[in-house]
Structures are given as structure tokens and as C-alpha cells.
Amino acid sequence: MIELRFHRDLYAGTAIDSALGRFAGVARFVRREDGADFVVEVHAQSPGRERTVAGELANFALGLTVEAGGPDR
């Protein structure tokens, strides 16, 4: 399992949800909130696949946040 923490000051929650939607079929995700962080646990069949999926998910979350004009205000 890889745990990703997306801080609210840096990421839009809607961007993370949208990114999770795009990757729904390729791994299992557990999403929760912890203080100022959106936390996403990535569960996949192998460590290599987990690294790839977590990395791509983070990139999508960043890209969609930038497209949205920044974090939720």
C-alpha cells in the first residue's frame, strides 16, 4: 500500500476526486481526510504497479488542480 497526502492548500479536492474517478479500474483506493490533508491509500497487485498508479494519480491530481486554477478557495 502507498499512502498519498494531498494538502488542501495545494490541491483541489474536486481534482483529487476526478483523478480517482479516472483510475478507478486499475487499483483500489481508500480516500479519507486527516486535518488539512486529503489522504489516498493506493492498493494494487504489486509494489511496482502501486508506484506507477500512485505516481500517475498524483500527476493527474496536480494537473487537474492547475487546470482548476488552484486549490479550493
Partner 1 sequence: MSESLFGMPPANVDADIAEGRVALTVDTSLHSLDAIYAAAYAFIGRCYVLLERPAPERVRVVLAPKPSGADGDALRALIGEFANELLSATWRREITRSNRALIEAVTMQAFAGALGSPSLDDLEAFQFGDEPFEDPLGIAQSWEEKYRKKPRTPEEPTE
Give residues in contact with partner 1 (CB under 8 A). 4-7, 9-11, 36, 51, 54-56, 58-59, 62-63, 65-66, 70
Nearer to partner 1, 28 or 51 (CB): 51
Min CB(21)–partner 1 separation in Å: 18
CA distance 53 to 2: 10
Q: What are the CA-CA distances from residue 49 to residues 2, 3, 54, 63 (Å)? A: 10, 14, 8, 21
Nearer to partner 1, 24 or 36 (CB): 36
Nearer to partner 1, 7 or 28 (CB): 7
Helix-, strand-, coil-residue percentages of the chain, each rounded to 5: 40, 25, 30
